């Protein structure tokens, strides 16, 4: 009986997802989606009854799925909060595991046929001096392999903090003013944006956070001034395509006035 119930429920969800996708495809698709991928450890503990590392592995697999969803729907820029500067305060063995996982993920993405077929440009945003040499080398490898592409952008925020990014931009601009390369009156929003870690990329249209937490956690503080925010109560490894479609539908239902 339970198996029959699961089959019926699965069919109902499948029908709903198809209907939802059709609705979403008829609306405006966000050009840039930013993701705070939260809940790996809680998913491991509560759903898998396993070590946090198992949750991180599931989270890596989920990112690959979401990248496919973006490519299918026509989202052109995906920025993911992979590892914050504050995450270095976690236990040493977990940090080492995550650094190993990031290295392997970057190398795998760089050699993935889907990346090259869809001309995806990979870029790290964050302080590369904070990460181990092997991860920095993987970053350079991935960026080098995809440097000529521009059809789609995958930005991985590693050793990243929004306040840190603004601070670094201000320091760079201050040095240029001191050197006489810039005048104080040259400083405007466009100039500051051009000194962020990802100059030239559009600000996020939609910022999505999983796990039910209702905060931004120092992510893209400058760029999200006019972004739509969406919070999902699903842990990141359990995030479904249906949840992603719901987030985009919510974005489509909002009237974007940009302060007007």
Active site members: 38, 87
Element (H, E) at 174: helix 162-178
Please enumerate in sequence order all residues whose Cβ is within 8 A of that of 103, keeping only pairs 6 or more positions apart, or say none. 132, 134, 135, 138
| Nearest alpha carbon to residue 35 among 186, 161, 219 | 219
| Pair type for strands 77-84 and 32-36 | parallel
Q: How far is CA 66 from CA 30, 89, 236, in A?
A: 14, 28, 11
Sign for the pseudo-dihedral over CA of 215, 252, 160, 103: positive
Task: Report d(CA 213, CA 115) in Å as an integer.
Answer: 31
């Amino acid at each position: 009986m339970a198996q029959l119930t699961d089959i019926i429920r699965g069919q109902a969800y499948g029908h709903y997802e198809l209907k939802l996708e059709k609705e979403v495809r008829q609306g405006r698709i966000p050009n840039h989606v930013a993701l705070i991928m939260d809940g790996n450890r809680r998913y491991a503990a509560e759903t898998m009854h396993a070590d946090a590392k198992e949750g991180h592995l599931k989270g890596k697999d989920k990112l690959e799925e979401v990248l496919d969803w973006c490519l299918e729907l026509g989202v052109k820029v995906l920025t993911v909060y992979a590892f914050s500067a504050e995450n270095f305060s976690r236990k040493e063995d977990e940090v080492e595991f995550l650094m190993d996982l990031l290295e392997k993920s970057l190398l795998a993405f760089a050699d993935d046929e889907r990346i090259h077929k869809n001309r995806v440009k990979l870029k790290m945003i964050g302080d590369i001096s904070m990460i181990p040499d092997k991860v920095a080398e993987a970053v350079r490898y991935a960026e080098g392999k995809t440097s000529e592409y521009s059809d789609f952008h995958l930005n991985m925020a590693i050793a990243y903090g929004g306040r840190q990014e603004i601070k670094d931009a201000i320091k760079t601009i201050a040095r240029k003013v001191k050197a006489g390369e810039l005048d104080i009156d040259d400083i405007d929003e466009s100039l500051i944006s051009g000194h962020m870690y990802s100059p030239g990329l559009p600000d996020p249209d939609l910022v999505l956070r999983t796990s039910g937490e209702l905060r931004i956690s120092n992510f893209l503080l400058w760029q999200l001034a006019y972004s739509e925010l969406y919070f999902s109560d699903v842990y990141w490894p359990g995030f479904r395509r249906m949840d992603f479609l719901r987030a985009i539908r919510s974005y489509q239902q909002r009237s974007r006035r940009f302060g007007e």
